[in-house]
Amino acid sequence: MTRWDTRRTARDERLRAGRAHATGKVVDPAKLADLLHDVIRPGDRVALEGDNQKQADFLSRTLAGCDPTRLNGLHMLISSVSRSEHLDLFERGIADRLDLAYAGPQSVRIAQMVEDGTVHIGAIHTYVELYARMFVDLAPDVVLLCAEQADREGNLYTGANTEDTPTIAEAAAFHDGVVIVQANGIVDTAALPRVDIPGSWVDFVVEADRPFFLEPLFTRDPRHIGPVEILKAMIAIRGVYERHQVVSLNHGVGFDTAAIELLLPTYGEQLGLKGRIARHWVLNPHPTLIPAIESGWVESIHSFGGESGMNRYAAARPDVFYTGADGSLRSNRVLAQLAGQYAIDMFIGSSLQIDADANSSTVTDGRLSGFGGAPNMGHDPHGRRHSSAAWLDLAHGDGASRRGRKLVVQMAQTFRAGGVPTFVETLDAVEVGKHAGMPLPPVMIYGDDVSHVVTEEGVAYLYRAHSLDDRRAALAAVAGVTPVGRSADARRVEGLRRDGLVAFPEDLRVETRLADRSLLAARSIEDLVAWSGGLYDPPAQFRDW
Amino acid sequence: MTRWDTRRTARDERLRAGRAHATGKVVDPAKLADLLHDVIRPGDRVALEGDNQKQADFLSRTLAGCDPTRLNGLHMLISSVSRSEHLDLFERGIADRLDLAYAGPQSVRIAQMVEDGTVHIGAIHTYVELYARMFVDLAPDVVLLCAEQADREGNLYTGANTEDTPTIAEAAAFHDGVVIVQANGIVDTAALPRVDIPGSWVDFVVEADRPFFLEPLFTRDPRHIGPVEILKAMIAIRGVYERHQVVSLNHGVGFDTAAIELLLPTYGEQLGLKGRIARHWVLNPHPTLIPAIESGWVESIHSFGGESGMNRYAAARPDVFYTGADGSLRSNRVLAQLAGQYAIDMFIGSSLQIDADANSSTVTDGRLSGFGGAPNMGHDPHGRRHSSAAWLDLAHGDGASRRGRKLVVQMAQTFRAGGVPTFVETLDAVEVGKHAGMPLPPVMIYGDDVSHVVTEEGVAYLYRAHSLDDRRAALAAVAGVTPVGRSADARRVEGLRRDGLVAFPEDLRVETRLADRSLLAARSIEDLVAWSGGLYDPPAQFRDW
């Protein structure tokens, strides 16, 4: 007779074993290692919350210290492999297989461990792809998660950095997996500011030895924004935001988009664009957006995660930010990704390397850093069916085939620091992918998804090109004296300008002589604090006063 | 001084006004109309849960009965406009603006009301697009939702048909909107089978006058599956599933895919395909999938919603279905959409009308029925970065541009009932869109997203075409004697078969003479009940014994 409840039976056994180390759902921190040894089984698929920002590091450190003779062969699902103990798991033989989305600071070590055969990579995903697979062919047996506070019934307050916790919890709680959560504090139910995840989804909670690790990934110090970033920002505002009347958008992280954020209340205001562009945002609470918010540019912001130091500010601006009834920020990566994919006019982000077809990658140093979330934002979603003015402005096709298009804008400086060209014949990613045995090169954003490229030379309106040859010529026209740019032919460039495939600053009435730091609404972190009326609390590494 | 908490202040006022008609969060059903009059304000944006299946109909009936001199100018967000009171709201002047995803049975009346100026359409979306906009530019002021059970603190059990409730609740609960929920029963906390949505997201609960309306949308009676559907299913299994080794997939609703489901345990088994194809599914609990599940074909199913009559069966098969700790089915449209978009090899669904470029539409009778969820499943997601064998099998491009592709398969019979051709020169949708003043024709799935078209004539492998002309010729080759098919040239078709752009049954070793009902694993609803061991409880309209 067929058994239809093997997962449930296994879950029941795991819970029974785990309860020996817990009082109800509450685990004694000193017994966490015992619990993990007894709840997790060799060969299990284990999702460990390493998000883009927050890290369930009490759980990961404890798991990495487990006995590999008892716990081994684990298949880890870690969206952001960013802590050394994530890889210690493999070195110690506790885990051997890894599915991930992003490696970041561990990318060099991970590449070496793949080469040594210590880590077997299932696949490298974007964040939401990895979560999607948890509901299809990578259902986790055990998930190790992270919260601000829990009560004894397992109700969780995830706070400003909700990020991915509800999604991973759902994958386990609703398919007979076990949900184990570390919390910064275990409190009485009445003391929970709000419940983000119901206790009936949670099996065990443990008070962490120290607050979970959180990285301030979205803070850019305005002091590092120079005239070239400012010029690119001016070009983008006139040549993209104003031209297409971009109302809803996502900014990638980086100094280029930070410069745009800081130019809205100055340059944007002078152009009379307030209220006409950039009203609805999907992005983490970028500190550099504070001046635009305070100047009344921003109607709403929905966030993938939080940002260190921004919690008091976000709580004081609930008309703009999504907050709970308790007043604190709510973030949710899956819903922000949904919003960013289906409900906005534009994605704009920086790229480190772009080839002649406008394929781009952030892999430039031989490291396999993964994808994160950019590919999901940086493509035209073919499942979209509603219109907006900006989307229709890029309409293409005839008859039944006619439809609009999301603006996918890449910003880049023709040369990076040290005179390294950004525009290259072949992406480094091609070689890195080959070396790592990947089935395809790890391209971040594909050229045919890119509608515009902005450099300090001007804008290439790639979406207007009728042929691949025109696309390449338009891109070359803004690529400066890089290997790609040197192929540009002056006569042809004039034709492309006439036909609207390329615009230089003078075509956009951008006065390059104005591109200096006096245009920045804030020139330092201290300025941002002042703009916030003291509500922004920058992390220590960004303070020098 | 700028006010940053206008939404919160308004929410506080609404809650204060509502509390006059409630004891704590519990509203006296007799006072629901009073509460709605006092909590909702003229001009509000109100999301009303009309999902694909379940309907918050106590709330919608009560709202439609409100006094238009007190409550008017509402902007309604209703994903599925399927009940007459949804439109009564407009006729009575309570609402005047509508954003929707699907109209279904109300599509004729809605078209008339748009023409009369009684309903102003914001846009027609897919389901997830509409939810996405609730986090960007369509944040609701009040949401009216639906649950199986609630406790007095507002904790909700949404049961098998969770569908969209958590997503819409989140849009309001975390942006100072008011959340009002009807429940079939209000019970003690301890009596809730599980908590799907925490009470801290919910402001008011009311016991409904009768259980919420639920439509059995995914039940197909095998008696209506004839030899042509069976032939198409055989062609699809050999020409698509087997050829590309499709492991993970989504089936649209309809008799074509129901036939495939019923052929897996017979024809699929004979071909030795069990365990090699169709192991992981994203779809509602289709009753016609029961024989394949019972025969051990199906490892997992994640669902957008539930299906009437399938709850006992799903609860008894927890290794396959996603279920809660209480044992009952869990569904979640947003996560199933995420899974369907980013984690599966194939979407396959039926179409009613297809043009020469393979654009397709279900609009064939002058009605504006909307999009539902098919466009989100029926496109190649460019944000995907992990590989699978089937996805790589459709790889295209060179160098950095090389990538795989999702299989997007359209099934159709060359002629529909009454001799109406499926393949046409121009989709009816073009005229309907023009008439309704839509900015673009309401195309369900765009031709350039379609990789394969399956008819009773054979398979067109559109993804293999190197030119638009080849694509059209391949499609024409399987379009029979329809206006599109008559353009096919016999000599050219032979070339297309040689080059692998077209396959006829004999090319696929499909024996057309075997295409009869004896191949169906179940030939009636009664057979499905028998396969389920009596666990499937078909709705009354599907019973005749």
Please report whether residue A459 resides in a domain: yes
Give the end of a domain, one of A197, A214, A231: A214
**Same-domain status, B253 and B180:** no
- Per-residue pLDDT, B105: 83
- The pLDDT of B444-449, averaged and rounded, is 96
Asked if residue B244 lies in contact with residue B345, where contact means CB atoms within 8 angstroms, the answer is yes
Query: Which residue matches tokens 């396999």?
Result: A368
Return residues 52-111 of B near A (CB < 8 Å). none
Confidence label for B423 from pLDDT (cuts 50, 70 and 90) = very high
Count CB-CB contacts under 10 A for residue B121: 16
- Put simply, the answer to whether A449 touches B403 (Cβ < 8 Å) is no
Of B279, B319, B323, nearest to A174 by CB-CB distance is: B323
Count CB-CB contacts under 10 A for residue B401: 17
- The pLDDT of A451-472, averaged and rounded, is 97
- Provide ipTM, 2 decimals: 0.97
Q: For residue range B238-273, what is the model confidence (pLDDT) as tens digits?
A: 999 999 999 999 999 999 999 999 999 999 999 999
- Per-residue pLDDT, B12: 98
- Per-residue pLDDT, B366: 67
Please report whether residue B535 resides in a domain: no
**Same-domain status, B397 and B295:** yes
In DSSP terms, which residues pair with A182 in a beta bridge?
Answer: A146, A206
Q: Alpha-carbon distance A37 to A40, whole Å?
A: 6
Please report whether residue A362 resides in a domain: yes
- Put simply, the answer to whether B4 touches A355 (Cβ < 8 Å) is no
Q: Alpha-carbon distance A450 to A437, whole Å?
A: 27
Asked if residue A342 lies in contact with residue B128, where contact means CB atoms within 8 angstroms, the answer is yes
**Same-domain status, A163 and A265:** no
- Put simply, the answer to whether A375 touches B357 (Cβ < 8 Å) is no
Please report whether residue B534 resides in a domain: no
- Per-residue pLDDT, A369: 84
Chain B contact probe: residue of A134, A149, A174, A355 with most B CBs at under 10 A: A174
Between B52 and A301, the higher pLDDT residue: A301
**Same-domain status, B254 and B306:** yes
Q: In the sheet that A353-355 helps form, which strands lie side by side, from edge to edge?
A: A360-361, A353-355, A423-424
Asked if residue B307 lies in contact with residue B285, where contact means CB atoms within 8 angstroms, the answer is yes
- Per-residue pLDDT, A367: 75
Q: Which residues of B touch A332 (CB under 8 A)?
A: 170
Q: Alpha-carbon distance A174 to B65, whole Å?
A: 39
B175 touches chain A (CB under 8 A): yes
Q: For residue range A78-93, what is the model confidence (pLDDT) as tens digits?
A: 999 999 999 999 999 9
- Per-residue pLDDT, A104: 81
Of A6, A135, A446, nearest to B343 by CB-CB distance is: A135
In DSSP terms, which residues pair with A455 in a beta bridge?
Answer: A458
**Same-domain status, A489 and A521:** yes
Asked if residue B173 lies in contact with residue B8, where contact means CB atoms within 8 angstroms, the answer is no
Q: Which residues of B touch A124 (CB under 8 A)?
A: 385-386
Chain A nearest-CA distance from B446, in A, is 7
CATH number at residue B344: 3.40.1080.10
- The pLDDT of A495-501, averaged and rounded, is 98
**Same-domain status, B267 and B394:** yes
Please report whether residue B537 resides in a domain: no
- Per-residue pLDDT, B167: 98
- Put simply, the answer to whether A386 touches B133 (Cβ < 8 Å) is yes
pLDDT exceeds 80 at position A545: no
Helix locations, A371-467, DSSP H: 374-377, 389-393, 428-435
Q: Alpha-carbon distance B388 to A129, whole Å?
A: 13
Helix (H) or strand (E) holding B67: none
Q: What is the 3-state secondary structure (H, E, C) of B204-248?
A: EEEECCCCCEECCCCCCCHHHCCHHHHHHHHHHHHHHHHHHCCCE
* Mean pLDDT, rounded, of chain B: 96
Q: For residue range B450-461, what is the model confidence (pLDDT) as tens digits?
A: 999 999 999 999
Chain A nearest-CA distance from B57, in A, is 26
Percentage of chain B modeled with pLDDT above 70: 100
- The pLDDT of B436-461, averaged and rounded, is 95
Q: Alpha-carbon distance A164 to A79, whole Å?
A: 9
**Same-domain status, B116 and B53:** yes
Of B279, B320, B375, nearest to A383 by CB-CB distance is: B375
Confidence label for B432 from pLDDT (cuts 50, 70 and 90) = confident
Percentage of chain A modeled with pLDDT above 90: 92
Q: Which residues of B touch A133 (CB under 8 A)?
A: 339, 342-343, 386
Domain span at residue A458 reads: 222-397+404-527
- Per-residue pLDDT, B312: 98
Give the end of a domain, one of A214, A237, A262: A214
pLDDT exceeds 80 at position A431: yes
**Same-domain status, A383 and A485:** yes
- Per-residue pLDDT, A366: 67
Q: Which residues of A touch B129 (CB under 8 A)?
A: 342-343, 383-386
Positive or negative: CA dihedral B316, B319, B324, B325: positive
- DSSP type of residue B1: -
Please report whether residue B189 resides in a domain: yes
Of A5, A129, A359, nearest to B342 by CB-CB distance is: A129
Q: For residue range A112-167, what is the model confidence (pLDDT) as tens digits?
A: 999 899 999 999 999 999 999 999 999 999 999 999 999 999 999 999 999 999 99
Please report whether residue B106 resides in a domain: yes
Largest CA distance in chain A: 80
Q: Which residues of A touch B355 (CB under 8 A)?
A: 400
pLDDT exceeds 80 at position B203: yes
**Same-domain status, B490 and B344:** yes
Q: Alpha-carbon distance B391 to B409, whole Å?
A: 13
Please report whether residue A420 resides in a domain: yes
Q: Alpha-carbon distance A349 to A396, whole Å?
A: 23
- DSSP type of residue A303: B
- Per-residue pLDDT, B497: 98
A9 touches chain B (CB under 8 A): no
The DSSP result for A348-363, as a single string, is EEE-SEEETT--EES-
CA nearest B432 in A: which residue? A400
- Strand runs labelled E in A376-419: 407-411, 415-416
Q: For residue range A317-375, what is the model confidence (pLDDT) as tens digits?
A: 999 999 999 999 999 999 999 999 999 999 999 988 999 999 998 877 667 788 999 99
Count of structural domains within chain B: 2
Confidence label for A2 from pLDDT (cuts 50, 70 and 90) = confident
Residue among B30, B399, B135 nearest A250 (CA): B135
pLDDT exceeds 90 at position B8: yes
**Same-domain status, B411 and B481:** yes
Q: For residue range B146-160, what is the model confidence (pLDDT) as tens digits?
A: 999 999 999 999 999
**Same-domain status, B186 and B325:** no
B245 touches chain A (CB under 8 A): no
**Same-domain status, B182 and B234:** no
Q: Alpha-carbon distance B325 to A20, whole Å?
A: 20
